[in-house]
Amino acid sequence: MQPIRTIESRTVVIPVTNIDTDQIIPARFLTTTTREGLGKQAFADWRYDANGAVKSDFILNKPEVAGCDILVAGRNFGCGSSREHAPWALLDYGFRAVISTEIADIFRNNSLKNGLLPIVVDEQTHQWLTNHPGANVKIDLDTTTLTLPTGATAKFPIEGFARVCLMNGVDELGFLLQQAPAIERYEQARGF
Amino acid sequence: MTAKTLFEKVWEQHQVVPESADTPAVLYIDLHLVHEVTSPQAFSVLRAQNLKVRRPERVLATMDHSTPTDPDEVFGRVPIKVESAARQVKEFEKNCREFGVELHDMSSDTRGIVHVIGPELGATQPGKTIVCGDSHTATHGAFGALAFGIGTTEVGHVLATQCLLQRRPKTLAIEVTGKLRAGVTAKDLILAIIGEIGVSGGTGYVIEYRGSAIEALSMEERMTVCNMSIEAGARAGLIAPDETTFAYLKGRRFAPQGKAWDEAVARWRELKTDPGAKFDRVVSIDASKLEPMISYGTHPGMVVPISGTVPEVANDPVHAKALNYMGLHGGEPMVGKPIQVVFIGSCTNGRLSDLELAAGVIKGHKVASGVRMLVVPGSQQVKREAERLGLDKIFTEAGAQWRESGCSMCIGMNGDTAGRGEYAVSTSNRNFEGRQGAGARTLLASPATAAAAAIAGKIADPRAYLPH
Ligand code: SF4
């Protein structure tokens, strides 16, 4: 994984609460056996109609959002299933961070493991972002701060170990594999 | 000694390395459930890094999500219709073979939905840590296990190391007192709980369901309750094991036998929250006030009592969007709304007692004209037991379709879907837009309510149809 320190980009706003993983990537696309190429199907049923035609009124189909790498969404983003295809699809589509006031647990975990930053901010900051689609914002993982174009800043929480892994481009599996001696001792103690 | 909650006891017994400010806990996983949809990319990582499955005997693999329910497809008499699903199933067989994992495959008589077969085989036991690349893993918490869903990267972690990196969650007690009234089921209870605390009310928490109404539930009912914990945002939901739990497990294939059984039960009896132990949050519910519930919107918190009306919420575009998708209007009564599809099944309500409940309502009636009803047992074992009781006949004589086991129309990956704009009364757990097929409109309810709707051809109060 590439190390991530800062992300600076304009935002796309989808001001809908409880966007679930079935919206982010509908289940019929989960028969894949790889993680690549899911961006085409991100928000498929919001982007395309029953005949596959582009719904021009949906924000992701508007020309002005090209190059916007940060998604701002309503509360409880990513609720529902554990499918990691959701962050895979968003990353493949081109998003690098999601900002909300609340992000569902499993989605947040999955995102951290793939380099999609789940950023939880306070109501006031979120309100500002929702009212200013396309704003150029900066996410700094080192200082765990989000900076708005007004100069206003907001701190965001992020699990410390995941943050270090993201900043150094390190995979958590390597760390777990290094725990082998402790795992062996544990298994022996339980008689496995 | 400090008083501990059930969750804390299980958590502490599984810490290989406790958490610190810098690193999460390394948590040992006793049982890893694996299915065809969320595992292929994890096996690929193992292959790429030349890693083995650390404890193949702690992996239980089955195929359920994308598998067909049409017997001809299941038993290979005709090819599987959804080609990508067929490829996924093939790849899963290959992965299990190559990594030495026992697979309950398509032809196996122990195959079924992963959350149905774990308990049914006795692999799900009190005090275990159980994970699966599936958010409804909380189901197994009904036995006093700490069970939660994980993503595919974590599936790879557990395959390779039998461990996970986890921060300790907070605890939420849901105290359910009183007695459920006749015709009000465990499904209605959990829908009411989600309606009460909201779809993110449990985020960051592990729930312990407790109180007299919970103790009175059968194991299958407890599984229905724990199953939907994720629909309130909680990754896990547990119930302390008791005599009901032990009686269910005794004699099952993976349950301890003989002396080991007695020792296990003695250990399991310790797995309850100590008097005076503190929860981070407590919510109380009076079961005796509840009615059968039904969902009206596009997430499982959007529920009303069956006798209720669609809520009117002014100036809420998200609410309006949901009602628009559902084709419903604020103020409109739920009862009487015509429906086109009924689905009985899923890891929430696809067990024998669920099928018995639905069959009891359907018996001697016909599925209304214009309604398509699909009954999909949660496992091949549930299917066999139901057939022994003649439930299949009751359903087919009424005009319903009786299928092989699997997730089926709960998720619609195998081609079992509800059509665009169709109303589907479903015993599953998610009513998200498109969950049961693009454009399909899901109404979540209990097996009794679903069966009543099938007969009436419209949403109906199941209490008028229950056998006396
Ligand atoms: S029945 Fe539905 S909720 Fe349960 S495991 Fe299958 S797809 Fe998931």
**Residue B431 beta carbon below 6 angstroms from any ligand 1 atom:** no
Give me the pLDDT at residue B100, please: 97
| CATH number of domain containing A105 | 3.20.19.10
The answer to whether domain B6-166 and domain B293-464 are alike in fold is yes
Tell me whether residue A179 is in a domain.
yes
Structural domain boundaries enclosing A174: 6-189
pLDDT in tens, A78-107: 999 999 999 999 999 999 999 999 999 999
Contact of B16 with chain A, judged by CB distance below 8 Å, is answered with yes
Q: Which two tokens stand for residue B417?
A: 């879907």
CA-to-CA dists, residue A55 to B11, B22, B337, angstroms: 48, 46, 30
Under a CB-based contact definition with an 8 Å cutoff, are residues B31 and B148 in contact? Answer: no
For a substitution probing ligand 1, which of B428, B430, B442 has the most ligand atoms within 8 Å of its CB? B428
Q: Quote the ligand 1 centre to B431 CA distance (angstroms).
A: 12
d(CA A183, CA A169) in angstroms, rounded, equals: 25
CA-based nearest residue to B300, from B248, B356, B370, B227: B227
Would you tell me how many other CB atoms lie within 10 Å of the CB of residue B84?
A: 16
Q: Quote the ligand 1 centre to A128 CA distance (angstroms).
A: 38
Q: B293-464 maps to which CATH number?
A: 3.30.499.10
Contact of B20 with chain A, judged by CB distance below 8 Å, is answered with no
Q: How many domains, in total, are found in chain A?
A: 1
Tell me whether residue A155 is in a domain.
yes
Among chain B residues, the shortest Cα distance to A188 is held by B16
Tell me whether residue A1 is in a domain.
no
Would you tell me how many other CB atoms lie within 10 Å of the CB of residue B251?
A: 10
d(CA A92, CA A115) in angstroms, rounded, equals: 11
Whether A31 sits inside 8 A of B37 (CB atoms) is: yes
**Residue B113 beta carbon below 6 angstroms from any ligand 1 atom:** yes
pLDDT in tens, B438-463: 999 999 999 999 999 999 999 999 99
Q: Which of B84, B204, B318 sits opposite A17 (nearest CB)?
A: B318
B-chain residues near A108 (CB < 8 A): none
Contact of B318 with chain A, judged by CB distance below 8 Å, is answered with yes
Superfamily of structural domain B170-241+265-288: Aconitase, Domain 2 (3.40.1060.10)
Q: Which of A35, A82, A183 sits opposite B161 (nearest CB)?
A: A183
Residues 6+ apart with CB under 8 A from B262: none
Whether B233 sits inside 8 A of A76 (CB atoms) is: yes
The residues in B 81-100 lying below 8 A from A, measured between CB atoms, are 82, 84-85, 87-88, 91
pLDDT in tens, B189-246: 999 999 999 999 999 999 999 999 999 999 999 999 999 999 999 999 999 999 999 9
Whether A179 sits inside 8 A of B134 (CB atoms) is: no
Q: Which of 3.30.499.10, 3.30.360.10, 1.20.140.10, 3.40.50.300 would CATH assign to domain B6-166?
A: 3.30.499.10
> What number is the average pLDDT over the span B396-416?
97
Give me the pLDDT at residue A137, please: 98
Whether A173 sits inside 8 A of B235 (CB atoms) is: no
CA-based nearest residue to B378, from B105, B118, B76, B86: B118
A148: left (phi over 0), alpha (psi -120 to 50) or beta: beta
Among chain A residues, the shortest Cα distance to B417 is held by A28
Give me the pLDDT at residue B467, please: 79
Tell me whether residue A83 is in a domain.
yes
Whether B84 sits inside 8 A of A31 (CB atoms) is: yes
Inform me whether the pLDDT recorded for B1 exceeds 80. Answer: no
Q: Quote the ligand 1 centre to B430 CA distance (angstroms).
A: 9
Give me the pLDDT at residue A1, please: 82
DSSP string, B184-240: --HHHHHHHHHHHH-TTTTTTEEEEEESHHHHTS-HHHHHHHHHGGGGGT-SEEE--
Q: Which of A31, A110, A164 sits opposite B85 (nearest CB)?
A: A31
Residues 6+ apart with CB under 8 A from B103: B61, B62, B63, B92, B93, B96, B97
Inform me whether the pLDDT recorded for B270 exceeds 90. Answer: yes
Whether B438 sits inside 8 A of A75 (CB atoms) is: no
Contact of B154 with chain A, judged by CB distance below 8 Å, is answered with yes
Tell me whether residue A100 is in a domain.
yes
Whether B84 sits inside 8 A of A177 (CB atoms) is: no
Positive or negative torsion for Cα B354, B356, B361, B365: positive
**Residue B67 beta carbon below 6 angstroms from any ligand 1 atom:** no
Radius of gyration of chain A (CA): 18
Percent of chain B with pLDDT over 70: 100
Q: Please give the model's pTM, rounded to 2 decimal places.
A: 0.97
d(CA B86, CA B250) in angstroms, rounded, equals: 37
Per DSSP bridges, beta strands B163-166 and A97-100 are unpaired
CA-based nearest residue to A99, from A71, A122, A80, A76: A71
Q: Which two tokens stand for residue B78?
A: 């005709």
Tell me whether residue A39 is in a domain.
yes
Domain positions in chain B are 6-166, 170-241+265-288, 293-464
d(CA A102, CA A108) in angstroms, rounded, equals: 10
Tell me whether residue A44 is in a domain.
yes
d(CA B308, CA B304) in angstroms, rounded, equals: 6
pLDDT in tens, B97-130: 999 999 999 999 999 999 999 999 999 999 999 9
Integer distance in angstroms from the first to the last C-alpha of chain B? 51
pLDDT in tens, B330-380: 999 999 999 999 999 999 999 999 999 999 999 999 999 999 999 999 999
> What number is the average pLDDT over the span B48-64?
98
Q: Which two tokens stand for residue B95?
A: 């992965």
Inform me whether the pLDDT recorded for A108 exceeds 80. Answer: yes
Under a CB-based contact definition with an 8 Å cutoff, are residues A97 and A139 in contact? Answer: yes
Question: Can you tell me which residue has the tokens 């320190």?
Answer: A5
Q: Quote the ligand 1 centre to A149 CA distance (angstroms).
A: 44
Contact of B56 with chain A, judged by CB distance below 8 Å, is answered with no
- Stated as kind and residue range, the H or E segment containing A161 is helix A160-168
B276: left (phi over 0), alpha (psi -120 to 50) or beta: left
The residues in B 369-408 lying below 8 A from A, measured between CB atoms, are none
Give me the pLDDT at residue B31, please: 98
ipTM exceeding 0.85? yes
Percent of chain A with pLDDT over 90: 98
Q: Which two tokens stand for residue A36?
A: 């690549």
d(CA A74, CA A67) in angstroms, rounded, equals: 21
CA-based nearest residue to A58, from A3, A19, A4: A19
SS3 for B373? strand
